[in-house]
Structure formats: C-alpha cells, structure tokens
Copies of this chain bind each other. A is one copy, B any other.
C-alpha cells in the first residue's frame, strides 16, 4: 500500500519533470524561431531524451517513453503550452529551478535503479543514472550547436546527478532499494537547489 503510494508519487515527479523540461525545450525552439515540429522535437529531446538514451544503451526493449503513452503525451502537452504562450516571467523563473532540480534527482534515481535491475554493476549504474538525468539537455544543446552546458560553465549539475546515483546504488546494494530511491531523489534535488542558490 505504502509502496504503491510511493510508486505513484515517483511517477508524478517523473512526469512533472518531463512536462517542465518539455516547456523549456519549447522556449528554446522559440528562441531558434522553429515551427511546431521544432517545438515538439525539442520538447521530446528535453523531456525524454535522457531516458531514451539510457534505454538505447541498456538494450532491454524499446524505450519506456515509446511504450508508456503518458510520457509522449506529457511532452506534447509541454510543447503545446510553450507554443501557445511564451512561458516566461517571475512565476516560471521561480518554479522552473525547483521542478528541474526534482526532475534531476528523480531521473538519476530511476536511471541508476533500472540499470541495476537489468543486471549491470554499480559503475555503469552510476553512469547511466547520470546520463538519464542530464542526457536530454545535452542532446538538445548539441542539436542547437552548443557545446552541452552540462560539460562546463554552469553551476554544479551533473555532479548532483552523480551523487544521487551513488546514493541509490549504495542503498540498493546494501538491501534498501526503497530507501535508496527516496534518499537518492531528495539528495539529488536538494544538492542541485543548494548549488543554484549558492551559485556553486
């Protein structure tokens, strides 16, 4: 029962992250003066790219983003909102960093967990947790001809995903997978927020 509630919460956080990152993808499509196809593409890359990259590397069936309709529909909704309204202003500026930090923690935890569950060891699990969290943004940057910001010149970001993945792997390998999921998400999100507020 409690387990079910946790899965449900985790899914909500996951999809909220997809939604917010899809909106961000739309903002970038707007800056690049793209058409609706561009908005959808950038929304999908931003919101789902990291998980798709992880699933391609895991080679364990088609990406979950192609099997669970909620993912694509959420990304499309983000693209549509971003296309219809120029989502900027004080609310977005205040809400976005929080949602993005939660998404980073959630995705790192989910990515590391899935890697362990298909039989990979701790080292690739940490790598794939990190890729899940930051890969979508990196692909989006490459498509817009930027060296991915995650590689330098930003505040701590990938590092938070690495720490979250390490927490998940450590807890899970010691027999506490559920604790690991919660602790990993909170650590990743918290660290990311602190890093932004402090300008690390």
Asked whether A123 is an interface residue with its Cβ less than 8 Å from the other chain, the reply is yes
Q: Is the CB of A32 within 8 A of B67?
A: no
Identity of the chain B residue whose Cβ is nearest the Cβ of A58 in the assembled complex: B62
Which residues of the other chain, B, contact A41 by a CB distance below 8 angstroms? 148, 151
Stretch of A92-100, A104-112, A152-160, A167-175 with 4 or more beta carbons under 8 angstroms from chain B:
A152-160
Asked whether A183 is an interface residue with its Cβ less than 8 Å from the other chain, the reply is no
Which residues of the other chain, B, contact A159 by a CB distance below 8 angstroms? 37
Q: What's the interface size class on A, roughly?
A: 35 or more
Interface residues of A in 30-87 (CB under 8 A from B): 32-35, 37-38, 41-42, 52, 55-63, 66-67, 69, 72-73
Given contacts A143-B147, A147-B143, A152 and B62 within 8 Å (CB-CB): no
Asked whether A12 is an interface residue with its Cβ less than 8 Å from the other chain, the reply is no
Q: Chain A 156-197 against B: per-residue CB contact (8 Å), 1 yes, 0 no? A: 001100000000000000000000000000000000000000
Given contacts A62-B58, A142-B143, A152 and B120 within 8 Å (CB-CB): no
